[in-house]
Amino acid sequence: MISLAVSPGALAAEVRILVQSSPLAGFQYHAGESLWQEMREGDRLTLVREADNPHDTNAVRIEWRGQKLGYLPRAENRTVASAMDGGEPVDARIARLRQHRNPWQRVLIEVFVVL
């Protein structure tokens, strides 16, 4: 699925193409639980490429306000990792927050390529 989105308040000069919508992997192992009450849907996230990650050479770390929340899921990170490796500008946000006992169901991430 491809959709076009223009940032709120932005001029038509910035177009963001949604390239991925995924759950946040590893939420239960990082700062997510302690930051849960502060996070909001729509909050901007930082993507950090971890090419030297010993568990996954396509690893893309997700941060919120400088705190590690987790990763893009391993089964779905190759395209975003490749875009980042190629210098393409990418952006991410919290699409949905949901109270759920399964940590894979708590945070939904959207990743955009910025044109």
pLDDT tens digits along 2-59: 455 555 555 557 888 999 999 999 887 877 777 888 999 999 999 999 999 999 999 9
Going from the C-alpha of 31 to that of each of 19, 21, 27, 62, 65, the distances in angstroms are 25, 21, 7, 11, 11
Q: Which two tokens stand for residue 18?
A: 């949604």
Q: What are phi and psi of 85, to 5 degrees?
A: -60, -30
Domains and CATH numbers, the chain: 20-114 (3.30.70.2330)
pLDDT in the model for residue 31:
72
72: which strand partners? none
Could you tell me which of 59, 64, 67, 54 has the C-alpha nearest to residue 92? 64
Instruction: Dump pLDDT digits (tens) for 77-90.
Output: 999 999 999 999 99
CA–CA dist 38, 27 (Å, integer): 15
Residues 6 or more apart in contact with residue 7 via CB below 8 angstroms: 14, 16
pTM of the model: 0.82
